[in-house]
Amino acid sequence: MSHLNNHKEYKEISAIYDYVSMCTHCGNCKYGYEWGAATNFADMLCVQGSKYNFDSYRGSRGKVSLARSLLHGRIGWDDTVAHILFTCTECGACQQMCETDIKPYILRMFEALRSEAWKQNIAVPANIKAWSSTIGNNYNPYKEKHEKRLDWLPPEFKSKVNKKAEYIYFAGCTASYRRKEIARATVKLLDKLKVDWTVVDDEWCCASPVLRTGQYDLAKAFVEHNAALPDKYKAGAFITTCSGCFRTLSRDYKMDPPEGYTDKYGKLLQNTKVLHTTHLLEEMLNKGEIEFTGKFNKKVTYHDPCHLGRHAEVYETPRNVLKAIPGINLVEMYKNRKFSFCCGAGGGVRGGFADYSLETAYKRVKEAESTGAELLTSACPFCYTNLHDAIEMNKSPLKMEDIVEILEPIVKRK
Ligand code: SF4
Ligand code: SF4
């Protein structure tokens, strides 16, 4: 890499430069695209591109050019570069569309560019800087006190805290502090289904917001702390209702690069299963262990959370759970599964650029409205927050519920 002017300074990008250079500039990543007589599909999936429209903002191609130009010293770090880097939600649509060898490294490249941006004197969004400066004390990005992390837990479940159990329910920061109803519905559901679970008062942020915004050094303490919890509580598995926690615990903690960070930390949780709640529900349904005690006679559409869908390729599991509910009429949005459109919250965007984030969420809400569904569901408290806020702000007739909120009132263990 001696041909690169700045490779010593730009360590993170240099480390993946051989992969960055595999981009052929074909432009596939600028659109959602599938060729075939029955499945011919072409539409804008890039959240950034749909808002800002300039090539650097649209898909991964422009950011590959950016990385090359920065490394070769052809452009400098300035506030425009920061804006391009931090308005990407890391939805992964461009990565899904790419068909060359750079494909597995695209999201990692975005994060590597962000990690370099932190070292430059440029406009990293103030709000991201603000939560990043306190997360080391509070262990959550919401600037809430760590001691209040379990305040959501209903009194009847206080005896479940810090117990030896098969599953640690890893509630995550959003459900713990902002969407407590989803955390409550999850533990009520687990209890009704006679799952052996605990929650722990020393759960810290999974580090998703830290990693996705390129703060590798800051993430280290969080990753190592949470990875020690299963041994401490003699648990065999983490279960998460948050798709961001699921992606981070199941991929970033465990995997080799490019998916993971074993050059910094990783190969953790090797003996610990990480399940999304919908995985457990699907497994129990398949074994005939769940009995429905009521119907859900509603027309429903499902939003794929990017961290569960494109990042972890879990598309059918939540749909299989929904389809098992008596009375439900599940309809698909035009953009679904790997062609889904992001809720607009990820990659630090909700914190960094709230107006743009909510504008994106409303685009998704309108797609849901166009199906004729009365209820929008998803499998992530963070998606819930952004989509629900957009529904309220725009007075959409849609209602929103997480999958666990739909299931909880109408199931019991057989
Ligand atoms: S990132 Fe992939 S899809 Fe996009 S231009 Fe490069 S090779 Fe093509
Ligand atoms: S990750 Fe999503 S928002 Fe970011 S460039 Fe790719 S398609 Fe656009």
Mean pLDDT by 10 residues, the chain (414 residues): 54 78 90 67 87 92 92 92 97 94 90 92 93 96 97 98 98 98 98 98 97 92 96 97 97 72 75 97 98 98 98 97 98 95 97 96 98 98 98 98 98 96
Give the pLDDT of residue 8.
Answer: 59
In a domain, 124, yes or no: no
Q: Tell me, yes or no, whether 128 lies in a domain.
A: no
pLDDT at 82: 96
The residues facing 378 across adjacent strands are 402
DSSP assignment letter at 231:
H
Q: Nearest ligand to the C-alpha of residue 104? A: 1
Answer yes or no: is 129 within a domain.
no
> Which residue lies with its CA nearest to atom 2 of ligand 1?
98
292 CA to centre of ligand 2 in angstroms: 39
**Ligand 2, pocket-test mutation among 23, 52, 90, most atoms within 8 A of CB:** 90
**Separation CA 388–CA 406 (nearest Å):** 15
Give the domain extent around 35: 11-117
Distance CA 94, CA 29 (A): 4
* Domains held by the chain: number: 3
- Which atom of ligand 1 is least distant from the CA of 98? 3
Within this chain, do residues 147 and 254 fall inside the same structural domain, yes or no? Answer: yes
- State the distance from the centre of ligand 1 to the C-alpha of 105, rounded, in angstroms: 11
Residues 269 and 309 in one domain: no
Name the closest-CA residue to atom 1, ligand 2: 90
Q: How far apart are CA 76 and CA 94, in angstroms?
A: 25
Q: Is residue 259 part of a domain?
A: yes
| pLDDT number for residue 19 | 79
CA–centroid distance, 252 to ligand 2, in Å, is: 19
Q: Which of 229, 255, 281 is the last residue of a domain?
A: 281
**d(CA 315, ligand 2 centre) in Å:** 19
Beta bridge partners of 199: 161
| Residue 127 belongs to a domain | no
pLDDT of residue 174: 98
Say if residue 216 is in the same domain as residue 341: no
Residue 388 Cβ inside 6 Å of ligand 1? The answer reads no
Could you tell me if 293 and 412 are in contact, meaning their C-beta atoms sit under 8 angstroms apart? yes
Q: Which of 44, 45, 55, 91 to mutate to test the pocket of ligand 2 (most atoms within 8 A of CB)?
A: 91
Determine the number of helices (DSSP H) and then strands (DSSP E) in the chain. Answer: 20, 12
What is the value of pTM for the model shown? 0.95
Q: What CA–CA distance (Å, rounded) separates 286 from 161?
A: 29
254 domain residue, yes or no: yes
* 72 & 194 share domain: no
Is the domain of 113 the same as that of 141?
Answer: no
| Phi and psi, residue 151, nearest 5° | -60, -20
Nearest atom in ligand 1 to 25's CA:
5
Distance 11 CA to ligand 1 centre (A): 23
Q: How far is ligand 1, taken at its centre, from the CA of residue 111, in Å?
A: 17
Lining ligand 2 with CB less than 6 A are 45-49, 59-60, 88-94
Q: Are residues 314 and 244 in the same domain?
A: no
Nearest Cα residue to atom 2 of ligand 2: 91
Tell me: do 170 and 141 sit in the same domain: yes
Ligand nearest to the CA of 53: 2
Task: Give the separation between CA 43 and CA 112, rounded to whole angstroms.
Answer: 28
Q: Are residues 267 and 296 in the same domain?
A: no
Centre of ligand 2 to C-alpha 361, Å, is: 15
For residue 341, the ligand closest to its alpha carbon is 2
List the CATH number of the domain containing 398: 3.40.50.1860
Distance between CA atoms of residues 213 and 113, nearest Å: 9
Protein residue with its CA nearest to atom 7 in ligand 1:
23
- Compute CA distances 372 → 239, 303, 331, whole Å: 33, 14, 9
- Whether residues 353 and 383 share a domain: the answer is yes
Is 4 domain-assigned? no
Q: Which of 117, 150, 172 is the last residue of a domain?
A: 117
3 lies in some domain: no
- 176 with 91, same domain: the answer is no
Residues 254 and 321 in one domain: no
Q: Which residue puts its alpha carbon closest to atom 5 of ligand 2? A: 59
Q: Is 26 in the pocket of ligand 1 (CB under 6 A)?
A: yes
- Report d(CA 199, CA 203) in Å as an integer: 8
Q: For the chain, state the CA radius of gyration.
A: 21
Among residues 357, 350, 299, 306, the alpha carbon closest in space to that of 327 is found at 299
The verdict on 66 and 182 lying in the same domain is no
Name the domain boundary from 260, 281, 302: 281
Q: Is 322 exposed, middle or buried (0-12, 13-18, 19+ CB in 10 A)?
A: buried
Residues 223/207, Cβ–Cβ less than 8 Å: yes
